[in-house]
Amino acid sequence: MIAENLISDIIIPLRTSDTGAEALSTMGEFYVRHLPIVNQEELLGLISEDEILDHDAEEPVGSYKLNPALPFVRINDHLYDVMRLVADYQLTAIPVVDDQRRYIGLITADNLIRHFAEIGAFREPGGIIVLEMVRQDYSLAQLARIVESENAVILSSYVQTFADSPRIEVTLKINKQNILNILASFERFDFIVKATFNEMEYFDTLRERYDSLISYLNV
């Protein structure tokens, strides 16, 4: 998945002649806090709600002194690069440009999350295992062999690092809801299982709580 596939053409970019009040109105309509300013096809800046509130909302946005840092992505940038910039700059939308830095469109954070959630690994039912280990012990191939030895496969994996620490957390999405045998295998190989999330057990717990509530109300 690349940036070009994530572009939303619903939101029209601001012109330098648009006022701050008009920009705020557009932000409210589309539930974003950032909008690009475009002169013809040239991307001039990305203005935030806070920047507008620091200026006179009746003045055109072209007269505002904007943050010189201009985050953007190119049409062939990967989904992960888009997510990284959105997170680093705490954006609700990020502009997309071509190789000549001409404005192509906008990717909203909502659209980004929606596309990410539609990836097969998120939609398929299964169990989630969080392992804790040190960096030098991490081997996805070894983890995959352990999971596959229990007739299961890893649908996705995510590694979280921690500053000034050799410790990491590895989150695995498995294609099975019953993961007890897999957990036992990890423990046999001295892996630390920090947390597990099983959809089947979760829904069973919800059912038990619902039944208890109904019983209480019927007393």
Mean pLDDT of 21-46: 94
34: left (phi over 0), alpha (psi -120 to 50) or beta: beta
Q: What is the pLDDT of residue 207?
A: 59
Q: 116, 132, 157: which is the final residue of a domain?
A: 116
CA distance 24 to 22: 5
Into how many domains does the chain fold? 2
Do 94 and 133 reside in the same domain of the chain?
Answer: no
% of the chain residues with pLDDT over 90: 66
- Which pLDDT score, from 0 to 100, does residue 204 have? 56
Tell me the residue range of the domain where 64 lies. Answer: 3-116
pLDDT at 216 over 90: no
Indicate if the pLDDT at residue 166 is higher than 80: yes
Q: How many Å is the Cα radius of gyration of the chain?
A: 24
Domain C-terminal end among 75, 94, 116: 116
Residue 14 has pLDDT above 80, yes or no: yes
Give me the chain's average pLDDT, please.
88
Residue at which a domain ends, from 96, 116, 136 = 116
Same domain, 62 and 127: no
- The CA distances from residue 108 to 11, 83, 105, 111, 135, in Å, are 9, 10, 10, 5, 34
137 and 172 belong to one structural domain: yes
Q: Is residue 88 domain-resident?
A: yes
In a domain, 217, yes or no: no
Residues 101 and 127 both lie in one domain: no
Residue 215 maps to a domain? no
In this structure, the answer to whether residues 162 and 177 fall within a common structural domain is yes
CATH number at residue 11: 3.10.580.10
Q: Model confidence over 57-116: pLDDT tens digits?
A: 999 999 998 777 789 999 999 988 998 999 999 999 999 999 988 999 999 998 888 887
51 located within any domain = yes
Question: Is the CB of residue 176 less than 8 Å from the CB of residue 148?
Answer: no
Residues 49 and 98 in one domain: yes
Question: From CA 115, how far away is CA 109, in angstroms rounded?
Answer: 10
Confidence of residue 201 (pLDDT cuts 50, 70, 90): low
